[in-house]
Amino acid sequence: MAFASFKEVLLDGLKNGYAVGQFNMNNLEFTQAIVEAANEEKSPVILGCSEGAIKYMGIDYTVAMARVAAETAKVPVILHLDHGPSFEYVVKCVRAGFSSIMIDASHYALEQNIELTKRVVDLCHPLGIEVEGELGRIGGTEDDLTVDERDATLALPEEAKRLVEESGIDALAPAIGSAHGVYVGKPELAFGRLQEIRDLLPNTPMVLHGGSGIPDEDIRKAISLGVSKINVNTENQIALTNTIREIFAKDAKVYDPRKYLGPGKAAIKEVVKEKMRLFGSSGRA
């Protein structure tokens, strides 16, 4: 199959109360593990790729791997730029063959965020490429913020409405207290804020970043409030790395990469399959 439509897949999730996972590809093993899991779970899937991962793999290798994965898959597969940093970088990814785009202009003031995001939408939509935008600050190194500091980073409902309506994006990633990487303490998602945004934008699929380490009940609640895309990377990275560490601890003489990357890949696949069941996307393709 050719790459699937980002919007179609997300709207089906929104309509039917499930979320599609975006799992980040960091190399060949990730790509294979994610798409094999999707095939076995009969789930649509989004291969996410950040600027850093593209730099690591090379943009042509990235697109080629994702294309082979999509063409051989029996389920919808999307290749999505994750946290696109600039208009120029988006152009590069569109030219290379990405099938959907995230532009992350969340560090700008609202007017500039809308302006840059709309510029990306105006480039992408005529090409049939759909766009995700971001509002507020999703934590990362800042996940030990105090409550007041954290509240100041959350997306504001009125601003969310303006960003969606004035830029024309197809999906919105509002900051609701999640963070990238390993959480310090229990993640506290701002469900009230998510509900307020949802009330203003009932037809817009919402995206939850920093999906690793969020308790299952919070994931289900987020989905019930309109989240139809959930991004996961760190849990897969940990699964791979822990597996390799265990193999090295048991056998210091191992040198064939297939002997540790193979089991590492299988560990990623298990995490992805579990997430697909949790997100409710299993059996939807």
- In the complex with ligand G3H, the residue whose CB is nearer, 166 or 272, is 272
- In the complex with Zn ion, the residue whose CB is nearer, 150 or 209, is 209
Comparing C-alpha atoms, which of 187, 166, 158 is closest to residue 174?
A: 158
Stretch that binds Zn ion, among 33-41, 57-65, 190-198, 201-209 (CB under 5 A): 201-209
Cα–Cα dist 246/176, whole Å: 35
Comparing C-alpha atoms, which of 86, 23, 29, 27 is closest to residue 53?
A: 27
| Catalytic site includes residue 144 | no
Question: To 5 degrees, how large is the angle CA 272–CA 125–CA 115?
Answer: 95
Is 211 annotated as ligand-binding? yes
* 233: partner contacted, choices Zn ion, ligand G3H, none (Cβ within 5-8 A by kind): ligand G3H
Query: SS3 of 253, please?
Result: coil
Residue 209 engages Zn ion in binding (rule: CB under 5 A) = yes
- In the complex with ligand G3H, the residue whose CB is nearer, 42 or 137, is 137
- In the complex with ligand G3H, the residue whose CB is nearer, 210 or 264, is 210
- In the complex with Zn ion, the residue whose CB is nearer, 209 or 284, is 209
Structure tokens at 35: 């798409």
From the list 82, 144, 148, 256, the catalytic residue is 82
Is 104 annotated as ligand-binding? yes
Is 52 annotated as ligand-binding? no
Residue 80 engages Zn ion in binding (rule: CB under 5 A) = no
Cα–Cα dist 110/249, whole Å: 50
Stretch that binds Zn ion, among 3-11, 73-81, 106-114, 202-210 (CB under 5 A): 202-210
Cα–Cα dist 36/5, whole Å: 20
Give the number of other CB atoms < 10 A from CB of residue 284. 19
Is 210 annotated as ligand-binding? yes
Length of the chain in residues, anyone? 285
Distance of CA 180 to the CA centre of its chain: 11
Is 83 annotated as ligand-binding? yes
Q: Contacts for 89-96 with beta carbons within 8 Å, 24 or more apart?
A: 89/51, 90/120, 90/123, 90/124, 91/123, 92/59, 93/54, 93/59, 94/123, 94/124, 94/127, 94/129, 96/59, 96/60, 96/62, 96/63
- Closest separation in Å from C-beta 22 to Zn ion: 8
Is 134 annotated as ligand-binding? yes
Residues that bind ligand G3H (CB under 6 A): 24, 48, 82-83, 180-181, 209-212, 231-234
- Give the catalytic positions in this structure: 82
Please give the annotated binding residues for Zn(2+), written as ranges.
83, 104, 134, 180, 209
Please give the annotated binding residues, written as ranges.
83, 104, 134, 180-181, 209-212, 231-234
- Applying CB under 5 A, the residues found at the interface with Zn ion are 209, 231
